[in-house]
A = this chain, B = another copy of it.
């Protein structure tokens, strides 16, 4: 019954069911995702994709976000390829969002699919998608994806699946089914068709293919919904059935029913708007946003180093040169996942806690600019990086780190970050999200247009026609 229950829930979800905190969380997820798409739009991986697949672009209905041809006109392509490319862009800097319990990056695939379909519908059917419809569909997709993810975590990811790619086709299917008002039966078929197209094993981390997983999830989800809308059938017990998604990819873990019960309870709670008991959180409210474009386990270290850069005035080379060693005390996974001592380029630097510490101390900043190849190999950064040693400390939480500088005069300066910026206990503020957005959007769109697009993102609930957002991001 799990597949059917999820489909029923998706079909029934309306904007009026969403409590204000859910709306606010969805707006933040959208604003952050749109910035990430813009930030990744000029990445080499995204460029390669556009060039490679151009022979397949035919219709010119949908926007390739942030792109222009050499003559200055915008780049368009068909629905599926637009979602594919924008999906790659959303994830390519590892600068998007993270649902910490599952390590899913939930918004990207859903956002790019909804934007592309909004443009497609307008041109193909003359139908306009409002901001409220868009946001409701976004919530439907993200909740479904995260609930399915919860049901198989952490085993599924541990066994080698890139969970963002395996779960997102279903999230996209749920979002579009809601947007396009598919019947509950069609919605179940859409979820079923998408579930049989899981994308991604983790061996590809560190290559172009990692970000491709997000683009493919969008593409697969869109196609699934179109098939289901046309009467195409899938197993009605696609998720929970014998040899279904949970059994085969979740390796028998079956906590899906419990997750669905919680999902239904939360929607009812928010409808009743009960003030007496403590409000339970929707999964989208637990989404976090990456302050730094690298593996999340490095974030507490970078946070500490940036604070020290500011407090110790390390911008001044005289101060910086007094550092004789940098000692990191970090969570047990840090060296496993991000222990690259001598990263050769920006892509490898994302897996180096040493580079993260160095740019924090030397540059006081960790945006995509500090992960460009020439920064990774600059003498300033290398000089400090070579002085960094890292030790795992058993009781350290994953959002916690201690950084100790030893100065040439023997003085020790310590910084203890208990909860890194961007963690659940210290979420990014809206102001920090604004800075993050502009740092990515401005180089692509220019200041004025970047601010215009961002304003639309924050006010998405009042936007009468979502296709305009994509249009503005050309």
**Residue A201 lies at the interface, judged by CB distance under 8 Å to chain B:** yes
How far does the alpha carbon of A231 sit from the alpha carbon of B52 in the complex, in Å? 8
Q: Is A295 an interface residue (CB 8 A)?
A: no
In the complex, whether A427 has a CB less than 8 A from a CB of chain B is no
In the complex with contacts A209-B193, A234-B204, A241-B203, A80-B52 CB distance below 8 A: no
Copy number in this complex?
2
Q: Which residues of B contact A247 (CB under 8 A)?
A: 160, 203
Candidates B159, B226, B233; contact of A56 at CB < 8 Å: B226
Bound complex: CA of A56 vs CA of B56, how far in Å? Answer: 11
List chain B residues, Cβ under 8 A from A197.
Answer: 197, 199-200, 216
Q: Do A201 and B209 have beta carbons less than 8 Å apart?
A: no
Assess the A53–B226 pair: CB atoms within 8 A. Answer: yes
Distance in angstroms between the alpha carbons of A244 and B204 in the assembled complex: 8
Binds B, one of A10-18, A43-51, A269-277, A387-395: A43-51
Interface 1/0 per residue, A68-82 and B, CB below 8 Å: 000000000011100
Looking at chain A's contact residues, the main secondary structure is helix
CB of A153 to closest CB in B, whole Å: 16
Interface string of A200-223 (1 = CB under 8 A from B): 111110111100110010000001
A216–B194 Cα gap in the complex (Å)?
11
A159 pairs with B248, CB closer than 8 A: yes
Q: Size of chain A's interface in residues, with CB distance under 8 A? A: 59
Query: How far is the CB of A237 from the nearest CB of chain B, in Å?
Result: 7
The answer to whether the Cβ of A39 comes within 8 Å of any Cβ in the partner chain is: no
Whether the Cβ atoms of B192 and A196 lie closer than 8 Å is no
- Contacting pair B212 A52 (CB below 8 A): no
Best-buried of A124, A161, A197, A231 by chain B (most CB within 10 Å): A197
What are the residues of chain B within 8 A of A249 when measuring CB–CB?
201
The answer to whether the Cβ of A55 comes within 8 Å of any Cβ in the partner chain is: yes
User: What separation, in Å, do the CA atoms of A216 and B193 have in the docked complex?
Assistant: 11
